[in-house]
Structure 1
Amino acid sequence: MAGLVVTGAPRTPIHLLDALAKYGVATVHEAQGRNGLLASEITPVQSGTRVAGTAVTVTVAPGDNTTIAVAVEQCQEGDLLIVTPTAPCDMGYFGDLLATSLMAQGARGLVIDAGVRDVADLKAMGFPVWSRHISAEGTTKGNLGDVNVPISIAGQIVHPGDAVLADDDGVVVVPRRKVDAVLGAAKAREEKEELSRVRYLTGEIALDVNTMRPMLEAAGIRYLDYGTWEEERTS
């Protein structure tokens, strides 16, 4: 039965969220074993924005945004509202007024597997949103979903309190208890990439920087000059 609001959910500490936000979604996704990435259909409304926040999870009834309004009351500084409908729906669940309310609570943004509207206003306000759809069609009120329960959204399970990182590349979920470990792995990965970048700048290529030649040989790669290739092709 819908209508459950779980209060007092655990949260990822803000200093860990801020540390996570120093890394891109691609780096964090790789650092945690290529796990946690939401489906690529969830895209940013704006560009050039990166946020990390604690997941406040929400399910909403198809075509009804009542539970988003309920969830606003549960939000606080550093939170990211993560919303999914209980059945697919592309309607505009969220606009500038709800964004204003969330900003006043200290929420850092919204990730929604449905539609949003008032896009120009959201951009002007600087309120970050990642959504599956943009739609001017409004929703009704009166049907309930749940707040701060585990949800399935865009191919991933999100628990209340998990860390969620979002940028131009998409959205990735980091389980709350693994944030420290993922931060360490992301730092190591970025340091490794910086060393590789220096080698690329000197003219080295990926085949050597990433020690790919033995792998290519094992896979059976062949190099032929053009004349030999022509002979083989036409013989």
Structure 2
Amino acid sequence: MNHRIVRTRSIRPPDPAALETFGRLGVATVHEAMGKRGLADPVLRPIYPGARIAGRAVTVLSHPGDNLMIHAAVEQCGEGDVLVVALSSGSTDGMFGDLFAAALKARGTRGLIIDAGVRDVADLTEMGFPAWSKAVHSQGTNKLNPGSVNVPVQLPGVTVRPGDAVVADDDGVVVVPRDEAGAVAAKAQSRADNEAEKREQFIGGVLGLDLYGLRPKLEELGIEYVDAEED
């Protein structure tokens, strides 16, 4: 395999306005706006609740149990980026901890998505550095094996290409292809506006059965309303 490090400065970023919209609206809305595409499998979970990020993907393909290429990737990360680490085979080793987070935070990197383990969770939480991982595991790693930076990688359920938009929050992780970011952001905002209107109607007492016109569907499916029989 031809291992390489592609300089991030040579990769066109997604639309900054789209990233702002994604960060504000979150994973579920973006996923729905993209036609229910782009969602990573739910094995990737946040290490602490309440974080929400959106940024440009800087990708890493790493050997399991070896964080050499994460060190190499830190140099390629900058303001507004999200580091995305995939492995050549499965592992839950703790490949990322507080020292990496300190280095990335100093460079303005927004967070980490890793298909492996992280450790130093209490420190990461106190630092306010969000991470989504497959495991929390103290198992240490090596720095011996080659990999690549800024190449297409595979997370569970979704492919990530360098420069794609990555959105993550308590609901999971979604990836928006860079060239679709503007259109998806517009659809996501429209969806959010529509949901805000519906929310007001629900607060006012309107039922989903009526708002969505579902009563005919109940009848079509043969569902009947009946009164309970007396004991």
Q: Give structure 1 stretches of 5+ with no counterpart.
A: 231-235
Aligned to 2:198: 196
> Aligned with 1:227: secondary structure?
coil
Aligned to 1:5: 5
1:128 and 2:130 equivalent?
yes
One-letter amino acid matched to 2:4: L
**In structure 2, which of residues 17, 20, 28 is the aligned counterpart of residue 18 of structure 1?**
20
What's the offset of the Cα at 1:203? 1.1
What's the offset of the Cα at 1:9? 1.9
CA distance in 2, matches of 1:9, 1:185: 25
Aligned to 2:55: 53
Aligned to 1:72: 74
> Aligned with 1:80: secondary structure?
strand
C-alpha distance after superposition, 1:180-229 (max 9, x if no partner): 1111111111111111111111111111122211222222222222229x
Aligned to 1:233: none
CA distance in 2, matches of 1:146, 1:10: 18
RMSD, aligned α-carbons: 1.4
Aligned to 2:170: 168
> Aligned with 1:90: secondary structure?
coil
What's the offset of the Cα at 1:158? 0.7
Q: How many residues align?
A: 229
Q: Give structure 2 stretches of 5+ with no counterpart.
A: none
1:208 and 2:206 equivalent?
no
1:142 and 2:144 equivalent?
yes
TM-score, scaled to structure 1: 0.93
Hey, which bits of structure 1, 4+ residues long, moved more than 4 A? none
C-alpha distance after superposition, 1:161-190 (max 9, x if no partner): 000011111111111111111111111111
> Aligned with 1:20: secondary structure?
helix
> Rg bigger for which structure?
1
